Amino acid sequence: MDELEGKKRLVDHVEPNRRGFVKQLIGAAFAPPLVATFAMDSLTAGEAAEPRLANACNVEDAGYVGPNAFQSHVFDSTNATRSNGVIGFLIEINPMEPRSLQAARILVGILLTPGSTYESGELYINGIPVVALPANGGFITSSDVQALCDFDELLQALAAGLVKVVIQILVHGAPFTLTGIILPASPIVITLTPSTP
């Protein structure tokens, strides 16, 4: 993905009334700093840790339309170990329920090179942990998501290639960290309606 496409994806995931401001920030890499104003009631102590702009959760949820499968090749970027692996993510919906976000979950499969043992892992958006990976694979549900508005915000970030995976492994008893970017892995597109309260 080139830089321009990455910037466009970022702007597409920002609340519409904040897009002009974000475009200015992205385009101002060598320009003088910008001064922005925000309403005081939009600021709370917890929002500093969130990976989105203020008031983004107040926007009406439209659901999810995007790929149903994602994949990440994980490796040690420091070259301390040659162990690596693949982590697969598949959005599943119970066929007996409506195709909604409420019925969706993500099946996680982890495959590592021989001699490697999975210990733990997390998904990150903008450097902030948003989901702890289940032990030895398993499911991610909406109740596992933290620091995001809802489950489909995670799905949209996956579809846009904005999610990084970081896992801890043991190789013959020695600890190592493997990382990778999660990218869409399937041309199949699914549609999920917003969750009902």
Residues 23-82: tens digit of each pLDDT: 665 554 434 444 555 555 544 444 444 445 556 788 888 899 999 999 999 999 999 999
| Residue ranges of domains in the chain | 3-58, 64-192
Is residue 160 very low, low, confident or very high in pLDDT (cuts 50, 70, 90)? very high
pLDDT at site 195: 72
pLDDT at site 26: 59
Give whole-number Cα distances, 74 to 59, 63, 109, 172, 191, in Å. Answer: 34, 29, 13, 18, 28
Residues 43-59: tens digit of each pLDDT: 444 444 444 555 678 88
